Structure 1
């Protein structure tokens, strides 16, 4: 009996932790008149395709090559050929990184209860007490963002935009390559559009 209770407790804990795990939220936009089926090759829009959003402090110089590598690998896995010269590609891409500090405020009712033991001069042992109030928690966190823009080379115009955002945890900072790959996978799940 106690083993099944322990297993049930472990299952509930794992389910709760999985529900709390933050994943990237991705969104996409594209030119619906564009024929994405014609694309076979891609290149970078420039030698340094990374843009940095406003109000972002110093950016790790290793971030740009990591994102470039993750995007190249993901697009090649989708069947596109990487070419070095932008003029020889069907589409080119650039990306923007950003972050912002956010504050989360949560309020919920709380209740306290207890028993008071007192020996007043009068009769009595004290009594139970109950309290109802509100507990408020304020949390600061960093929201990270990666946006990818794809441009048609022949027509020289943007045709697709994807963005992924996520609350950045300490483990995300420690496992930066896995975080970058997860962001790229979330974004490119919408490319090419259906």
Structure 2
């Protein structure tokens, strides 16, 4: 039973990070910030333990890839990785939900009847709605930045999109792109309380 749970967890994680494989515009990304947080005091980071994406108690190839992508984004903003005493904890999560789309579209059809006056068959149009139901899987990935001293969330970014199939190389690229899209909403650099970009 434990082995089944581990395998199910691995499969879910691998599928979940394939955000927006079926959507050309990329994931829908949102973010939120604690307006009272002093971002000028944050210069270092480490990963929260245990990470939300490692709820089974061990790292996977996918969780490792997400961690590497998040670390690269933090370091690109001047933050230093410091496992001993970080200013910020970085927590990562990803999960899936089954969704249903119901689409109704009007369409025209024709009835035919014989007109004795016109002495021929006449077509009469009529409108009706055609309804189609689509099942799909939606993946959500989020990055949380937590003030380590106060154990308080100060920023979160979330990417939501449809899950699709991909090769390992495509999966790795999608992970990097999804994490980069989330961090585009993070407006601060290490040691600066002034937003560098609009969130």
Query: TM over 0.5, yes or no?
Result: yes
**Which gives a bigger RCO, structure 1 or 2 (Cα 8 Å, sep 6+)?**
2
Task: Answer yes or no: is 1:145 the counterpart of 2:144.
Answer: no
Aligned equivalents of 1:33 and 1:72: distance in 2? 25
Q: 1:163 to 1:123 in 2, by over 3 A?
A: closer
Shift of 1:124: 4.0
Aligned to 2:158: 163
Task: Answer yes or no: is 1:97 the counterpart of 2:100.
Answer: no
Q: Deviations over 1:133-185 (max 9, x none)?
A: 11111111111001111112233322212211112233599822122122211
Q: Deviations over 1:28-69 (max 9, x none)?
A: 2222111112222211112x423379xxxxxx9322111101
Q: Is the 8 A contact 1:52 1:98 kept in 2?
A: no
Aligned to 1:106: 103
Task: Answer yes or no: is 1:36 the counterpart of 2:36.
Answer: no
Q: 1:129 to 1:82 in 2, by over 3 A?
A: same
Q: Out of 20, 24, 42, which is 2:27 matched to?
A: 24
Q: Is the 8 A contact 1:25 1:186 kept in 2?
A: no
Gaps of 5+ in 2: 1-22, 189-194
Q: 1:33 to 1:127 in 2, by over 3 A?
A: same
Aligned to 1:133: 128
- Cα RMSD over matched residues? 3.1
Secondary structure, aligned partner of 1:42: strand
Q: Is the 8 A contact 1:44 1:93 kept in 2?
A: yes
Shift of 1:130: 2.4
Shift of 1:131: 3.3
Aligned equivalents of 1:125 and 1:172: distance in 2? 60
Shift of 1:108: 1.7
Aligned equivalents of 1:93 and 1:99: distance in 2? 21
Gaps of 5+ in 1: 1-19, 54-59
Q: Which has the larger radius of gyration?
A: 1
